[in-house]
Structure 1
Amino acid sequence: MLRAIGVLGGVVVAIALWVFGPQWFDDASQAESQPECDLLSGPCTWEADNGLWQVVLERMEAGDQGMEYQLGITVPKAPDRFLAVLKGQSMYMGEYPVPMERQEPLRYQATFTAPFCTTGADMVWRIDLQDGQKVIENVPWTLVFHAEK
């Protein structure tokens, strides 16, 4: 009985790696192969097939939960469900979806607080753009910023 459970568990793990593994590994390798654009140094702009994109990140005030940031994105075509997903670049700390709110027909904005690591203050975050669950693939940069406590 235990042997059957072990074999079944191994099969489930193998199937999960076969289905989800390429997505996990492609995401990491894609972020590492692109040049970084530090959002706190200035806007990140690029031209895609469908038009001009611009991403701007500004520091706001430090709140109870830490430094607040305001993310602004100008797009050439409005996504259905636009998300910015925070992912740890220097250390894995999970994924934090930030829903983007439409301000104008092609301009979105969100205010968020980046989680910080308790073992050190130097945390680099990556922002991936998504339309619902689908990653927007025309971004030529790895969008990053150094979070402050």
Structure 2
Amino acid sequence: MRALVAVLAIAGVVTLGIFGPRWLMSEDAGEADQGTVDCNLLNKTCHWAQEGQSWQARLQKSGVQAQGTEYHLTVKTDRNQPRMLAVLRGESMYLGEYPVPMTKAGMSPDGKGQIWEARFTAPFCTTDPNMTWRIDLQAGMDHAFAMPVKLTFVAKDRV
């Protein structure tokens, strides 16, 4: 009986060693960016619908500081949000995640949505002067939206 248990345990470990990494990698690839559309925030205003709500985001350069270029992010949504957080993540290279708190700037001029704003300076990479960043939106610290659009922009080192 002990020999049978030992053989089954060894077979299980070998099976996990062979098929485990493949299974884990296929899960990650399957979940990543299914159906998302890239939108460069510095080139245009990005529009999308999510859970029946209308969203739009725009990013503008608002000046150059000692730490780099300052950006102004504006998000308009029909969804009633008690709070909103933008999370800055490296897209072309992982440089960490940077939460950017957004403040409610009021109602949109058409009266059909809230406007949220944030100002931030994107960290720069010391090995590559151009860095592509992605902005993900969250409802506070807990709830991330499953966004159908990938909001990206290219930050240039101290330009």
TM-score, structure 2 normalization: 0.72
Aligned sequence identity (%): 41
C-alpha change, 1:76 and 1:28, in structure 2 (3 Å) is farther
1:41-90 Cα shifts (integer Å, max 9, x gaps) = 11000123332100000011110110000000001113222000000000
**What does residue 69 of structure 1 align with?**
71
**What does residue 116 of structure 2 align with?**
108
C-alpha change, 1:33 and 1:121, in structure 2 (3 Å) is farther
CA distance in 1, matches of 2:88, 2:34: 16
Any conservation in 1 of the 2:47–2:57 contact (CA below 8 Å)? Answer: yes
Post-superposition offset of 1:32: 6.9
List alignment gaps of at least 5 residues for structure 1: 1-21
> Whose radius of gyration is greater, 1 or 2?
2
**What does residue 7 of structure 2 align with?**
none
Aligned mate of 2:48, from 46, 49, 63? 46
CA distance in 1, matches of 2:138, 2:30: 16
C-alpha change, 1:26 and 1:98, in structure 2 (3 Å) is farther
List alignment gaps of at least 5 residues for structure 2: 1-23, 108-113
Aligned mate of 2:145, from 125, 129, 136? 136
Q: What SS does structure 2 have at the residue aligned with 1:92?
A: coil
CA distance in 1, matches of 2:58, 2:120: 13
CA distance in 1, matches of 2:96, 2:31: 17
TM-score, structure 1 normalization: 0.76
